[in-house]
Structure 1
């Protein structure tokens, strides 16, 4: 332990935190899902009992399979097909993150998943941005502080990546800070979307790529070397290129060494990785090893509803499993802020004036 005291769950909740990997449609309040289902006429919910619905989402996501995990989103997306629903979910997302001590969050979603009710992609984006703005206003009204950036996702099994990338560039002055591809990795390598990534690069725009979650090193290698990913969404399978001998000596393969040397951020999501079968348990998660080796790791929630987690609960799990203290929590937080897709001056402001002063009293 590198600090004087063990961070408690309450202290972790109060600590300023930075979140880079959080899905809008994976973080709804169970009560909101039930209310929106009633308002929009969605009749597919397994139950309308709020407490039981929350438990159902977590149980259903505990499948050990990314594909099965993704099926739970049919219900959240099902109730998010109107502008009012999208704005409400976005505003509540900001409030919930701020209540958990998050001071900067990049929240991602795939606009194409919310057009079943007739909304255009532009209408979806405008509704979500309006919701984020309203959420930030409510937080500020209560004396809190949070900044929200949006990442637009394309679904890798579909053929709309370039179209979504164009939207990310079109709305980058309206709160959209970057682009991503999501969905099942197996059978849908990132190189299928090279035109979208090339479009982002020529427009000096930012992007991350879901890679190295359910699929292995090949996905990570393609994302970085062919597509030019600035960050890796999950990237947990980089551990497959790290060998630890019986005497504890660690040897990095060429790809792992490249990722570490280049300081490519890993958007690690411990609880989610357990649910999708990427790792067996939190205690077995490579994040402990990756932290010791000083990869640029960040801690994230992925899907707060499905995993029943928050940023503070993810850090609490790492405190229990790996002995993380305030120094490690601060390090992960600054890693994330350095890796954010907003302007350098804005990142520096949050690091020097919000994050470091708070942790200075504890590290």
Structure 2
């Protein structure tokens, strides 16, 4: 009785054909799942002290794709068992072929994680931040190429034509698309130029068009910079490679140019004393703990320089130049504060006055600043003679 039921026809096929087709799909899925479990077990054995390895990433990428691959292959066998009327058979075969292409394409997309992992690992080991920036860009590029190949393969399956014929047919459409997307293409070429010149790396501080911040991400079309005030700035690569990029993160030192101004009535010996005070405050003597803080500004040939160099409109100028290295900004600020306080104290103890923008009016009869002008005495005498 049961066998007779299985031999009954439904929509042109016996019941046992439908059951067999369903078993093909389920078998393909179950076999794939068993393979996935085995591959994941192999991936776990690749752990090194709980850390990922390239082999583990590879096995996990393959394992994630087995389910889709198994079902697509099972569906392909199922379409061979079921007899479809007319054009429906062609549609079923085409659908099965497309599913297989999508399943294997999904596996390739998952496998992109392997080169990304290798580049990321290399950047961590060698402190090569360019590789860290390159990893996501390469990953996105490969994924775009894979998706394009999948789409072309599907076009080939649906149309039944060769890929070369399809590409030739898409020539006019590609031209129109290229004209519409020329800005995006320019951004991609901009990314290529940036990688060739390497003006910055991920994590470095840069100043671009007045935007001072840290490079957080670089993609195919744009680069993101997080400003020091917290704002995120997105700059198209097609514009970025043409701009002047000040890479603050690559500077070997922080230079400070400081002008210490003193009043015009400071006598020469006090000017010399001021220069000596500044030079002593910037000095470093090995083994002297009191000068230890000045070690970062006394390295190599970049030694502090102090000179009385300028007569300003309202002050005498002493220029101080020094180079702080390594360029750790907050340490540099701490040293600047320490030096500023010592200068104020030392100048106060030496009775040397700081100058500030001002105008001095000289009056006759001022004992501290007597007004002496050429011919003033003769004018005074003439005035006295007239009065007599």
- The verdict on a shared fold, with TM-score over 0.5 as the criterion, is no
TM-score normalized by the length of structure 2:
0.20
Whichever structure has more helix as a proportion of its residues is 2
What is the TM-score normalised by the length of structure 1?
Answer: 0.21
Highest relative contact order (Cα 8 Å, sep 6+), 1 or 2? Answer: 1
Which protein has the larger Cα radius of gyration, Structure 1 or Structure 2? 2
